[in-house]
Amino acid sequence: MTTTAAWPDARALRTAADTAARHAAEADTGGRLADATVRALAAAGFTAGFAPAGQGGAGAGFTRMTDAVAAIGEGCTSAAWIASLWAYNGRFSAYLPEEGQREVWAKGPDTRLVSSMVAAGVEAEPVDGGWRLSGSWLYVSGVEFADWALVSSAPPREGDRSIRVFAVPRDSFTYRETWSTLGMRATGSHTLVVEEAFVPEYRSFLWDDMRQGNLPAANSGHDGADGSHTRPNSGTTSAADAGSFSRPASASLSGTPSGSAPGPLSGAESGSLSGTDAVSAVHSAPLFAVNGLTFAAPILGAARQALRLVEQHLAQQPSGARAAARESHRIALARAAGEIDAAALLLARVADTADRGLLREDGVAVRSHRDSTLAVELLVGAVDRLFRVTGTRGQATSHAMQRIWRDVHGAGSHAALQFEPAALAYTQRLVAA
């Protein structure tokens, strides 16, 4: 399958965005996406977006995916989060051996995958033909309506070739309702539980291969670096270790010239990939170079909606203290709009670079990680600025602004979006050079 203009279908995407927006308040209050929203997201093709080509994948690229997720995020940040994770978890499934891919996607491209690398007390015992798996995994967004789960044998550690990822079907896991938070309430990021499930060898791969972007064709050794089965370490991890982005305020990412993003690009970035090369670039992207896009895209959509709400707020004739602050509020609006545009441009370069298959160029992966996290800092700051402009009105439980503010702060706290580790990795390379 090749990357084509067919994904996403504009009408299905608009229906999904409208449905998510219509049910956003209800989802926030109830802590669960409406069934209509879940169906609309699936109909819009998010599950198939990054699925392996041989299993009905839609051949989406990072730029189009980011645009689509952000469009959902303008109406409901939690719905966009689920849509994005469906797509990126489908990308993870490409690291399974072919037989495992066929089994996971047997019901078709509408298969809903969830994942968690936040392993808590996991036992993966080698047995004849595979592993006997038991344990629990935290923060599994969308587990309530999942068909399959991808879970790790232990909390990931860079370079550790003993850590595996297992594909587990819905009839082999349950979940405990443990998600009750200030923001992102409707993601349903509960705790997944597996008890004594057999996982055949072909439904597993090395986490480090996914980290590096080594697909089975390039690295078929899935029994560990020494060729033997391993019993992974059991362990727990903190919430900080758990595992959108679209157009600038007035334009889509796909319409943004790559040269408009700040910073020089290497000479190789003047070219582009297409067809099967583009699909391969999506599946072979190193994890941390693109992981930020997964979680930044919903935030970008939410920030755009916050900007729109403040535009409407300021269009009303002010009175009293609000009248005195009118100019400062307009300046705050302009600054926030610029911050949102700047974030979108940073993320546009990350997506475009990944779509072109250039993440293995010297320094590009760490720059992409830096850009994604910096973009989120800009977006969170912009939403804070806009929230203050709406004053007491924006804090009313009936007002969408307070929900957006909570969601953006909740999403922005994700471990993959923290600027400090990304900055240190980037500067370490510069100092070493």
pTM (two decimals): 0.86
Task: Burial-class residue 48 by CB neighbours within 10 Å (0-12, 13-18, 19+).
Answer: buried
Please write the tens of the pLDDT for every residue from 379-419: 999 999 999 999 999 999 999 999 999 999 999 999 999 99
> Please, what is the average pLDDT of the chain?
86
Mean pLDDT of 234-254: 38
Residue 260 has pLDDT above 50, yes or no: no
Mean pLDDT of 325-342: 94
Task: Burial-class residue 273 by CB neighbours within 10 Å (0-12, 13-18, 19+).
Answer: middle
* Cα radius of gyration rounded to whole Å, the chain: 21
Residue 237 has pLDDT above 50, yes or no: no
Mean pLDDT of 281-289: 94
Sign of CA dihedral 182, 184, 185, 188: negative
Residue 34's Cβ-side half-sphere holds a number of Cα atoms within 13 Å equal to: 18
Strand partners, 167: 150
Strand partners, 137: 119, 192
The C-alpha angle 215, 67, 358, rounded to 5 degrees, equals 40
Nearest to 178 by CA among 166, 188, 168, 163: 188
73, 20 contact by CB (below 8 A): no
Mean pLDDT of 9-25: 98
pLDDT interval class at 231 (50, 70, 90): very low
CA distances from 52 to 49, 88, 292 (A): 9, 11, 21
CA distances from 122 to 112, 116, 190, 366 (A): 23, 12, 16, 31
* pLDDT recorded at residue 159: 85
410, 416 contact by CB (below 8 A): no
Residue 241 has pLDDT above 60, yes or no: no
pLDDT interval class at 280 (50, 70, 90): confident
The residue among 233 and 320 whose pLDDT is bigger is: 320
Please write the tens of the pLDDT for every residue from 145-189: 999 999 999 999 888 999 999 999 999 999 999 999 999 999 999
Please write the tens of the pLDDT for every residue from 339-368: 999 999 999 999 999 999 999 999 999 999
Tell me which of 64-73, 278-287, 321-330, 356-365 is least confident.
321-330
CA distance 151 to 116: 5
* pLDDT recorded at residue 216: 85
* pLDDT recorded at residue 91: 97
Please write the tens of the pLDDT for every residue from 44-68: 999 999 999 999 999 999 999 999 9
Residue 324's Cβ-side half-sphere holds a number of Cα atoms within 13 Å equal to: 2
125, 117 contact by CB (below 8 A): no
